[in-house]
Structure 1
Amino acid sequence: MSQPYVKLEIENQVGYIEFFHPAHNSLPGNILAELAQTITDAGNNDDIKVIVLKSGGDRTFCAGASFNELININDEATGKVFFSGFANVINAMRKCPKFIIGRVQGKTVGGGVGVASATDYCMATKFAAIKLSELNVGIGPFVVGPAVERKLGLSGMSQIAIDANTFYPAEWAKQQGLFTQVFDTTEALDEAVKTFAENLCNYNPEAMKEMKKIFWQGTEDWDALLAERAAISGRLVLSDFTKKKLESYK
């Protein structure tokens, strides 16, 4: 695998959405846009009862947004569009009328933590450590913050947002409520995800749709909220502090 992609495969009424980028699944704007649209399309597909969200490769679930695009931001408007990428994915997941099961096989950083947090039920391997690294470069996890806080609580979210250098282990994420189960191997994870998703397909789709509405109650303002958060990040990424930090990482 060397080319980025987003693909949807349907098996036994389960829609498996998989994204991939060779740079540790760090996602550029076009892939994020395609991912958001694929989630929306799967939500409207009558052949799909449950969605599984996964990434390609073995080591990293998602390393956040594309670093190459980040360092090339030179104005606030471009910055807002860039940081809206993960906002659009999270909002697509929030609005999707079907349960989304997360399959997290490895480390996840920044926007990837937001995506995992926006799933309705998330399983992982013991290698799936999480980190919110945004403060390291002079911004913050503003866009993904609402989704992460919704799963980890304000205390858990603020802990990993402030401690931006540390990977928190999968077991910690499970204790905080992000992961429901943690497995020793990817093979065991995949088997559990498949069994769980297919079992959900036996339930009343209307009941699951109504349950999802209840689970996401109170987030109706997220279209506007996440756009505002993207604008904050778009402004901060232009600061001298952040520009120097990004240059040092080249």
Structure 2
Amino acid sequence: MDGVIKTSIENNIATVSFFHPASNSFPSLLLANLTQELNVLSENNSINLIVLKSEGNGAFCAGASFDELLKVNNLEEGRLFFSGFANVVNAMRNCSKIIIGRVHGKAVGGGVGIISACDYVFATNNASTKLSELAIGIGPFVIEPAVSRKIGKTAMTEMTLAATEWKTAEWGLNKGLFTQLFSSLDELDNSLSNFALNLASYNPEALTEIKKVIWEGTENWNTLLYERAEISGKLVLSDFTKNALQKFKTK
């Protein structure tokens, strides 16, 4: 199964949800579909903001699809796969709408990148995070600019080098990865709904202009993230990474 992207629109708010049976991980097709959906919504004048969430009660997002990574056989395939995450981050960055993240569970790797590319994030106490890429022989190269922009280079370094260590939701709140933290999903959803309805009532032109201000200084990401994708695309071909991915899969 390639996963599903669903969008519902109500009260000038678009709620975009993604789902994949493997802990909401992302194969290439799902990344492409999310990118396309964000680009379409960016041009939709009937909505004022976007809520981004994933389905289920488990992980928020397990990052890249290990099944697909194991099938990468050459540099071009690797570059294209990791460019999928570059496309999503850039779509979120360039989107004319404010994007609110709803994080109900754990996030790994690319999932942390998606959270970092949100403009405002509601999370539960279950929302632990980890950048595990070094442990499988690659690195968080594509998402690093988004993560560093959100939590700072020092915290990003801490996450990256402690590649097997889960960071608590409280840590994420303190570092700025999350904006608000809740002890239950019901509390989160109530607060998110109120916040979104209030925000969606503001002048849409003002919201679009403040989105531009929020992302000032990131224009080079149109090239930087794809240069980073080439690095990851090369590293995923190594015997170290192939063996590490296989071990992770069999755990």
- Counterpart residue number, 2:186: 187
Work out the CA distance in 2 between the residues paired with 1:86 and 1:27: 9
Aligned residue number for residue 244 of structure 2: 245
Find the counterpart in structure 2 of residue 13 from structure 1.
12
1:127 alignment counterpart: 126
Aligned-partner residue type, residue 135 of structure 1: L
2:60 match: secondary structure:
strand
- 1:249 shift after superposition: 2.7
Residue equivalent to 1:25:
24
Give the CA deviation at 1:155.
0.4
Give secondary structure in 1 for the equivalent of 2:102. strand
| Residue 199 (structure 1) aligns with | 198
Letter in 2 for 1:120: D
**CA distance, structure 1, for counterparts of residue 224 and residue 103 of structure 2:** 26
Structure 1 residue 102, shift from structure 2 partner: 0.3
TM-score (norm 2): 0.97
Amino acid at match of 1:153: G
Q: CA deviation at 1:246?
A: 1.9
Aligned-partner Cα distance in 2 for 1:77–1:31: 19
Give the Cα–Cα distance (whole angstroms) in 1 for the partners of residues 169 and 118 of structure 2.
Answer: 16
- 1:111 is matched with 110
Counterpart CA distance in 2 for 1:49 and 1:85 is 26
Structure 1 distance, partners of 2:5, 2:96, is 20
Alpha-carbon distance in 1 for matches of 2:48, 2:241: 43
Q: Which amino acid aligns with 2:180?
A: Q
Secondary structure at the residue paired with 1:241? helix
Q: Which amino acid aligns with 2:113?
A: G
Alignment of 1:220-239 (within 5 A): 220-239=219-238
Deviates more, 1:87-96 or 1:207-216: 207-216
Q: Which amino acid in structure 1 is aligned with residue 155 of structure 2?
A: G
- State the Cα distance separating 1:3 from its structure 2 match: 7.3
Give the deviation of 1:43 after TM superposition: 1.2
Which ranges of 4 or more aligned residues in structure 1 deviate by more than 6 Å? none
Find the aligned partners of 1:212 and 1:247 in 2 and give their Cα distance.
41
Matches within 5 A, 1:19-58: 19-58=18-57
**Distance in 1 (alpha carbons) for counterparts of 2:60 and 2:175:** 19
Task: For 1:186 and 1:81, locate their aligned partners in 2 and report how far apart those are by CA, in whole Å.
Answer: 36
> For residues 39 and 3 of structure 1, what CA distance do their matches in structure 2 show?
18
Matched AA of 2:5: V
Q: Following TM superposition, by how much is the alpha carbon of 1:248 offset from its aligned partner in structure 2, in angstroms?
A: 2.4
Is the partner of 1:191 in helix, strand or coil?
helix
Q: Distance in 2 between matches of 1:168 and 1:108?
A: 10
Match of 1:67 in 2: 66
Q: Distance in 2 between matches of 1:95 and 1:222?
A: 10
The answer for unaligned runs of 5 or more in structure 1 is: none
Deviates further, 126-135 or 179-188? 179-188
* Structure 2 unmatched ranges of 5 or more: none
- Farther-moved stretch of structure 1 (71-80 vs 184-193): 184-193
> How far 1:110 sits from its partner (Å)?
0.2
Q: Percent identity?
A: 54
How far apart are the structure 2 equivalents of 1:176 and 1:127? 16
Deviation at 1:187, TM superposition (A): 1.4
- C-alpha distance in 2 between matches for 1:247 and 1:216: 38
Match for residue 218 of structure 2? 219
Give the letter for the 1:143 counterpart: V
Match of residue 101 from structure 1: 100
Please, what is the CA RMSD of the aligned residues? Answer: 1.0
Per-residue deviation, 1:59: 1.4
